[in-house]
Structure 1
Amino acid sequence: MPTPAPTPYRALDRRIWLLAGARAVNTAGLSLAMAFMAIYLVTERGLSGTVTGVLYAGANLLQAVSQGLAGDVSDRIGRRVTMVAALAGRAVLVTALGIAVTANAAVWVVVALLYASWIVRGWFEPVAYAAVADVAPPDQRVAAIGLQKIGVNLGWAVGPAAGGFLLRWFDYGAVFFFAAPIIAAAAAAVACYRDPPRRTPARRARVRPPALPLRVWLFLACALVSGLVHGQLFSTFSLYVKAGVGLGEDALGALWTINAVCVLALQLPAVAAVRRAGTRVALVAGAVLYVAAFVGFGVAPGFAGLAASMIVLTAGEVVLEPAQQAMAARLADPERMGRAMGLLGFMRMFGLAFALLVGGAAFDAFPDRPLAMWSVLAAIAAALAAGYAAFGAVTRRQARPPEAHP
Structure 2
Amino acid sequence: MQASTRKGMIVVALANGLLLFGYGLSLPFFTIYLISQRHLSPAMAGLVIALAGLSRCVSSAISGELADAFGRKKVMMWGLFSQILAMFCLGLCIEFQAQVGWMLVCYFLTTFLGAFFRPASNAWVTDNTTPKERVEAFGILRIGLNIGWALGPAAGGFLVRYSYSLAFFFTALLYAATILYLGRLIEDKHVPCKSRKPSFVSALLSLKDSRLAKICFYVVLITAVNSQLVVGLSIHCKQYLHMPENYIGWFFTINGLVVVFLQYWATKIMAKIRLSTAMLIGCLLYAVGFGSVGFFDTFALIAVGVFLAGVGELIVSPGEQTLVSNIASRETRGRYLGMLMVFYNLGSALGFFGAGLLGDYVAPFYLPGPWLIVGAVAVLAGLGFWSMRRSLTPEEDGKTNVPVPIKKDTITLN
TM-score normalised per structure 2: 0.89
Q: Which amino acid aligns with 1:219?
A: I
Residues 53, 385 of structure 1: alpha-carbon distance in 2 compared, 3 angstrom cutoff: same
Q: Which amino acid aligns with 2:142?
A: K
For the residue of structure 2 that corresponds to 1:276, the secondary structure is coil
For the residue of structure 2 that corresponds to 1:301, the secondary structure is coil
Q: Which amino acid aligns with 2:45?
A: T
For the residue of structure 2 that corresponds to 1:367, the secondary structure is coil
Q: Which amino acid aligns with 1:355?
A: G
CA contact (8 A) 2:56 2:112 kept: yes
Residues 296, 96 of structure 1: alpha-carbon distance in 2 compared, 3 angstrom cutoff: same
Deviations 1:44-80 (A, max 9, x none): 1111111112111211111101101111111111111
Q: 1:131 aligns with which of 114, 124, 128?
A: 124
Larger Rg: 2
CA distance in 1, matches of 2:108, 2:136: 33
CA drift at 1:227: 2.1
2:385 counterpart residue number? 388
2:77 counterpart residue number? 84
1:172 counterpart residue number? 164
CA distance in 2, matches of 1:391, 1:57: 29
2:151 counterpart residue number? 158
2:59 counterpart residue number? 66
CA contact (8 A) 1:62 1:115 kept: yes
Q: 2:278 aligns with which of 277, 282, 299?
A: 282
Q: Which amino acid aligns with 1:352?
A: S
1:344 counterpart residue number? 340
Moved over 6 A (4+): 205-211
2:291 counterpart residue number? 295
For the residue of structure 1 that corresponds to 2:272, the secondary structure is helix
CA drift at 1:226: 2.2
Q: 1:220 aligns with which of 216, 220, 223?
A: 216
% same residue: 26
CA contact (8 A) 1:57 1:355 kept: yes
CA distance in 2, matches of 1:9, 1:304: 41
For the residue of structure 1 that corresponds to 2:243, the secondary structure is coil
Q: Which amino acid aligns with 1:175?
A: A
Paired residues for 1:101-112 under 5 Å: 101-112=94-105
CA contact (8 A) 2:83 2:110 kept: yes
Two-structure CA RMSD over aligned residues (Å): 2.2
CA distance in 2, matches of 1:159, 1:252: 12
For the residue of structure 2 that corresponds to 1:201, the secondary structure is coil
For the residue of structure 1 that corresponds to 2:208, the secondary structure is coil
CA drift at 1:361: 0.9
- The range that moved more, 310-319 or 296-305, is 296-305
- Does 2:365 match 1:372? no
- Does 2:271 match 1:258? no
- Does 2:185 match 1:189? no
CA drift at 1:340: 0.8
CA drift at 1:287: 0.8
CA contact (8 A) 1:157 1:257 kept: yes
Q: Which amino acid aligns with 1:260?
A: G
How many pairs are equivalent?
390
For the residue of structure 1 that corresponds to 2:292, the secondary structure is helix
